[in-house]
Structure formats: C-alpha cells, structure tokens
Structure 1
C-alpha cells in the first residue's frame, strides 16, 4: 500500500489527494493553517478551496509537516510556484529518503528563470531522477467531479514515472507517461500567459478567429522556446501542450483566463487582483518566461505584450495593435 503526502491544500492539491485515495493510496494533506486541516479531518471537505467535494476516508490532513511526510513514498508538491523555493528550504530536511517528488505546479521562477523541477533539485538537493512532473488539461473542479480527463506524468526515471502513473490511474483519469520533463513544464507554464491574452480578447468582445489565432500562435511560441531548451516539439501537440492550452484558455474555471478578462475590461493589475482575490500564476510567470525567451533569443510576441499589459500598464487594445502590426513573415 502506497503512502502519499500532498503538500498544499489548494484546489489542485485537494483534488489530487482525492485522486490518490480513490486509486488506493493512504494520503496525508499538509495545510499551512491548522483550521483548514482540522476542517478536512472533521468534515472530509476543504470548503475554502474545493467546496462541496467529499474526500475519501483514506485522506487525512495536518499542519505538522513531519506528520504529513512520515513514511510517504510519494510526495506531491502543490504550492504556488513562486513560493516553492522558500517552502522547500524549510521542507528539504524532512523529505523521506528516496521518496519520489512530484511537481503539480505550473510556472517559471522569477529571477532565476528555472522550471519547478529544477528548483526542486537545487533546493531539496536531490537527484533529478527522483523528480516527476504532472501536467495536462486538469481543471481541479472538473477532476473532482470525476469528469473524464487525461494527464501526462513526465520523468527521467521511467520506473518512477510509471509508479506515479499507477498511483493516479482511475476510470475518470487516464495518465500517460513521458520522458520530456522540459516540454511538459514549459507547456504548463506558458499556457497560463496565453490564457491571460485569451481572457483579455474575450472581454474586449473579440471573436473566435481572434481567439483561435491566440491559441495557435501561442502554441507556436511555446514550442519555439521549448525546442531552444531541448524539449521534444511533439510534446506541444499533446496533452501537456495543446491540451492544457485549450482547457486553460477556453474554460471559465481558469483563473488565468478570468484574470485576463478583468484586464481586458480596463481594470488595472491591482483592481484585477482585488476582484479575482488572488494573482493568477501567469501574471508572475510572464516576466520569467519573457526573460527566459530573451536569454535564448526566442521571439515570444504574445508573452511580451501580456507582460507589458500586466506590469507596464499598456492598454490591451494597444497591445493588440502592436501584435497585428509586426513585420510580415512565413508561418
């Protein structure tokens, strides 16, 4: 019987605890606030992050890190991407030896431009083969409602990737394995930025041609960056690329699309943050992705304009004009 720890009690961490328990693992969730952990233990519901979703009996919760990690062979990291390094600095000494560390996060670290798996390896001082990433079109409320979906489990150690695959396989969730960690992580990070642009376009009343163009050209710039970093270009045609991009752009459940809609209605970054009650991952990652692209001499015009709207106060309508006025070139 597998023991699993899920560090983070947000919507995706909570949904993943449900997945793991229903697939046969005993799961301990770690929540920063004891009140959240106590509510999960008492009511089997995380009302703050995933209201109305009953968690299986195999799920428990604690605010004590050592208790969460005790005996865990699988450790799932489900905290906001920009907080990962700080959290791991505190957690590294408590991680069980030879446990498989699984990233559920989608972002690029500000300042270092490192992917989440790189941050894990560096901060936890573990071999890269111990790290696995999960990515794909996985909106937490839909997964929690057991709507059929697929996902990708990527790792450089095929045995660990298959271990995670088996630990999350369910009638409503079909996991595929991959060895392309770079491609899966980049697809998961950049799609948040493109979804911000999609949300802006939607709020400005732009039609399906516009939105389809954003998805396809957004995918193109994601793939360009991925290839420059050593990813398999075919990854971006799969679940961690196109699949995740379409889900995040098109769904009203997407935080990034919703945040982009606030910006598209003319709200400032601060106003959008207040309305959304939190910052979408793409708002911070767009800075790091832009810097990563520039460092590798990769053109990412949509990402550049999203960064200007979010952090330089450029009007989204001006950003559209700048995108449309770029020099003509072959596709």
Structure 2
C-alpha cells in the first residue's frame, strides 16, 4: 500500500497525516474548508485545529475529494460523526474498487443509532473495512509521542494489513475482531468523560472520579455485550485505556464540557466556544436510545443525557447517582 487518503482536516485527521506520512509514499489530506486547505498547503501548518506542528512535504492538502482520493489504496475517515453519512456519500464515487476504508471517528449516528462502520458499510457498499480506536490525543500523536491503538475488522486479513501499514516506532497497533466492542468503547467513553469533568468541576475529589470511571466502564461493557461485543475488549485499549485518558487528560474536550457544566455554563455556550467537536454531547442521547432499546441500565449516561438536555443540574445528577437503590457490584 503506497497511497493514503485521509478525509477530515481537523486535529485528528491532521495528526494522523503527520504520524503516517513516513509509511506512505503519497499522503493526501482532504479539508472541508477551502480557505483552510489553501493556507495549510501554503504554510504547511493547520493553524486552526492543530497549530504548532509542521506538515511534512509529502502530505498534499486539498479541498477537492477527487484529487485526494485518486488511486488511494487506503482511505481513513476522520470527520465528526454527525457529518459522516454526508461526507461518505461524496467520497464513495471517487473510491478505487479495491480501496480499503478505515473509520477513525468515534460516535453513534443520531436517529439510526448506527456505529460509524455500519454507516460506512451502508454508504460505501461492500469493500474491506476496519475501525481504528484507542487512547489518543491528537496533539501527542502529532508530536510523535508513543501511542498504542486497536484496529478492528470482521476480516482478520484486513485488520492485519492496516496494522502492518500503519505501525511505526511511535505508533503501535493491536488487532481485534471485535468491531462492536471497539467502536462502542470509543463512542461511549466520551459520555462518561463528561461526567468526569463534572466531578472535577465540582471538586468532588479522587474517590468520586475513580468510582465514576469504574462504574462507567461497567455500563459501557453492559451495552457493548448486549449488542454483541466481547467483555474482554472493554478492559483493553479501546475500553479502559480510552476511558482513563478521556476522563483524566487535560486535553480531553468531553471532560472540558463537564467542567464547564459544573461551573454553570450552558451547553450551547460551551459548544460555541470550542473549535472542535466534543462527540459525547451528541452521543449521550444516542447511547441512551440504544440502552433503552436493549433494556440495558446505564445510570451515568442517563444522568449525562438529562444534564445536557437541561433537565438536571450537575449537583442533582450526582445526587441522583449516589441515591440510587443499593445493589451488588
């Protein structure tokens, strides 16, 4: 595999272009905003989403999908989940027949409640598909700091091919066949991270944060297993690993949302102040719709959904969690 196309010029798509550029002779990055694409191609910096990191000369940046996707062997989708279907619909006509598509987006589609790989399969049709997930802040990946991720596919050969193509001295990939568990771990941890931000913003202490993360992992696992995932997956990088990072890291956007809510700022104001999407804001409602459909109890996600909808205050959400009926672990 020689030619790589990355769809999405946000912080994550740009970081992947930087990290994977040594592995491909031709890397092309699609940026939705034409003006930003022009600046990036000229200045070799993503000054809006990922300032401070030089883009290697072998990475070509364009606003035109046909240019970016021309003869691409591997296509990485890295746009926000709520834009995925629309963007993939524009991508599909330009895909080479044998092109492999990798989803690097963490989220659940509102309404359909489909995971990103399911949206991709619906829109792009039968072709080799994989998902990439795990604990990974874009800034650290762009800086070349060590990171370990999981690539999952229903076809072991596809996951193995991505593993071999993407792995570097700073990027270590593990293979999984549990697409459901890997995707749900990556999507649902964002909801729990909003709760972690609330705990931090209310200064509830380390005990409360540890309890929230542990019980959060338990409810993520319940839903993943109910939908066909493997419980072991949620104890790995795509589950516990990503949850720990997103709940505790200062770079976490979802954690910042929770901190803002705890300080009394409304969700519309918080979202408007952020350059990049905090996926947990949309995922909370979708996660609860899935949980209700499956008959799975997710008390933390339920309180985050109510908090984001303006039906609870942060203090009320924590109190209701603590006053739930007592039960076995």
Please indicate, yes or no, whether the TM-score normalized by the shorter chain is above 0.5.
Answer: yes
Query: Does the alignment pair 1:54 with 2:54?
Result: yes
- Mapped partners of 2:283, 2:39: distance in 1: 32
Structure 1 unmatched ranges of 5 or more: none
TM-score (norm 1): 0.97
What whole-Å deviation, never above 9, does each CA across 1:179-228 have from its counterpart, x for those lacking one?
11000000000000000000011000110000001110000000000110
How much has 1:11 moved relative to structure 2?
Answer: 0.3
Question: Partner of 1:312: helix, strand, or coil?
Answer: coil
Task: Determine helix, strand or coil for the equivalent of 1:102.
Answer: strand
CA distance in 2, matches of 1:54, 1:238: 32
- Whether contact under 8 Å (2:191, 2:284) holds in the other structure is yes
Partner residue of 1:193 out of 191, 194, 205: 191
SS at 1:174 equivalent: strand
C-alpha displacement of 1:237: 0.5
Question: Partner residue of 1:64?
Answer: 64
Tell me the secondary structure at the aligned position of residue 101 of structure 1: strand
1:279 Cα deviation after fit: 4.4
Single out whichever of 288-297 and 16-25 deviates more from structure 2: 16-25
Aligned to 2:219: 221
In structure 1, distance between residues paired with 2:185 and 2:252: 16
Aligned length: 329
Q: Deviations over 1:141-172 (max 9, x none)?
A: 01111111100011111222112112221111
Find the counterpart in structure 2 of residue 296 from structure 1: 294
Q: Please provide the CA RMSD for this pair.
A: 1.2
Instruction: Tell me the distance in 2 between the aligned counterparts of 1:173 and 1:278.
Output: 23
Aligned residue runs from structure 1 range 126-165, under 5 A: 126-127=126-127, 130-165=128-163
Residue 82 of structure 2: aligned partner: 82
Contact 1:248–1:257 (CA under 8 A) maintained in structure 2? yes
Match in the other structure for 2:112: 112
TM-score by length of 2: 0.97
Q: CA shift at 1:23, angstroms?
A: 2.3
Aligned residues of 1:248 and 1:256 also touching (Cα < 8 A): yes
CA–CA separation in structure 1 for the residues paired with 2:309 and 2:215: 22
User: What SS does the corresponding residue of 2:234 show, helix, strand or coil?
Assistant: helix
Take 1:265 and 1:309, find their aligned partners in 2: how far apart are those partners? 13
Partners of 2:19 and 2:151 lie apart in 1 by 14
State how far apart, in whole Å, the 2-side matches of 1:179 and 1:198 are: 30
Partner of 2:282: 284
User: In the aligned structure 2, how far is the partner of 1:109 from the partner of 1:137?
Assistant: 21
